[in-house]
Every structure is written in structure tokens, then in C-alpha cells.
Amino acid sequence: EAGVTQFPSHSVIEKGQTVTLRCDPISGHDNLYWYRRVMGKEIKFLLHFVKESKQDESGMPNNRFLAERTGGTYSTLKVQPAELEDSGVYFCASSLGYSPLHFGNGTRLTVT
Amino acid sequence: DAKTTQPPSMDCAEGRAANLPCNHSTISGNEYVYWYRQIHSQGPQYIIHGLKNNETNEMASLIITEDRKSSTLILPHATLRDTAVYYCIVRIYTGTASKLTFGTGTRLQVTL
């Protein structure tokens, strides 16, 4: 089966621009998570969808970040406007129920 | 979620068993112990998990002490490709909220 796929793998944007990251979970997985690692820090939880509903968005840093999961399939994470401190690697993960999370290889975002 | 404590780094000779310890002294009865690893710039990879019994799969073995306050991940025959950061995580299942909380992990270096 195909794993979790993320697009793009790399993105370089200027401060103030908008970027949209996409995550396609493993087919049939109802849970979808977003995480990120900023330079030198630990991997941090951002939010959790169950199907199309936001179950936990306690890790979202501020209102410049907007995540959606229309239809309960793929998800997008939009950063608008991007700031320098948003640079890092954004990971998506999915799971079926309480099964282990499976992660994608991430999107490396660089804000200049 | 319960906190975990891991040594920051370990070395292991190729072909030997790698034993990675983890302390989770505040773990509660309904929290599972999960192990993930991150190889270079890839996404975290699921290895194994358990509640109170020892577990084994094709990748590793997980030994959990009887009081559940600590555990050990065992890679029976480490190879150079096992060089990675290994994360010990306790995961609570509370309704539909079951995120993982990553720490700093153990950087395992496998050498010739």
C-alpha cells in the first residue's frame, strides 16, 4: 500500500508570501496529524483530524496557520503570511483508529 | 502524557545487539510505550509498541519492566542502516485524541 505522501518535498518562499502544504494519508486512515520540526528543536505536534473534524489543534502556533481536511481524505496546511520562524520540516502522519501513526517524509519549508 | 528520559547518544558495533533504554516512571496504566526512529531527513518510522508485555516484531524487541517504569528497545543485530535517532514515547488513548509527544531521543551510531 502507498504510504503517507507529502507535497512539495521542498518549498522556498519569501517572508510575507503564502504557502500551502499537502498531505495524502494512507487510504482509509481516519486520523491525520500534522507535526513540525524547526531548526534544532524537537518534533512538535500541531493538530489532529478525525475524518474532516479537528479533534485537537492545541499545537497550532498562531492564526497564520490554517489546516483543512475537506471530505476527510487529503489535508492542506496553509501558512499566510509566512514568517522567518516558520522555516522547518512539516510532517504529516495518519493512522486507523488507535493503530500506530505512519509518517510521511515531510515538506522542508524555507522562508527567506 | 508521561515524560520519557533517554540517553542522548549511544554507539554500537555492527552485528552486535543495540539496547536502547528509556525511563518513564510516571507512566499511567492506560499509556502505551511506543518506539519510533528517524533516519537522517526522513519522517519518523514506527518500530514497535507495547503496554506491559514484552513484544517482538521483525525489526526489534521491546522489553518493559514489570512496574512499567522503564523499557528497553533491542535491535538484535545492528547494521549501519540502523544509525538514527530513536524516540521512546508514551501514548495515551483518550477518546479520539491520541497524539504522540516526541522528546529529544537517543542518537544511535552504528560503527564498523
Q: Chain B contact for A1, CB < 8 A?
A: no
- Cis peptide bond upstream of A8, omega within 30: yes
A49-72 b/e (C-beta count within 10 Å ≥ 16 → b) = bbeeeebbeebbeeeebebebeee
> Grid cell 516512571 — which residue?
B25
Q: Helix, strand, or coil here: A11?
A: strand
Per-residue pLDDT tens for B58-106?
999 999 999 999 999 999 999 999 999 999 999 877 765 578 889 999 9
Model pLDDT, residue A39: 87
Alpha-carbon distance A91 to nearest alpha carbon in chain B (angstroms): 7
Model pLDDT, residue B1: 58
Q: Chain A contact for B101, CB < 8 A?
A: yes
Name the closest residue on chain B to residue A10, using Cα atoms. Answer: B41
Helix, strand and coil content of chain B, in percent to the nearest 5, comes to: 5, 50, 50
Mean pLDDT of chain A: 95
Q: Helix, strand, or coil here: B73?
A: strand
Per-residue pLDDT tens for A40-90?
899 999 999 999 999 999 999 999 999 999 888 999 999 999 999 999 999
Widest pairwise Cα distance in chain A: 39
CA distances from A111 to A38, A64, B10, B40 (A): 12, 14, 34, 22
Phi-psi group of A107: left, alpha or beta (phi > 0 → left; psi -120 to 50 → alpha; rest → beta): beta
Amino acid at the residue B99: K
Calpha distance B101→B104 (Å, rounded): 10
Asked if residue B6 lies in contact with residue B104, where contact means CB atoms within 8 angstroms, the answer is yes
B99/A33 CB distance under 8 A = yes
Model pLDDT, residue B2: 62
| Percent over 90 (pLDDT), chain A | 91
Q: Helix, strand, or coil here: A23?
A: strand
Per-residue pLDDT tens for B16-67?
999 999 999 999 888 999 999 999 889 999 999 999 989 999 999 999 999 9
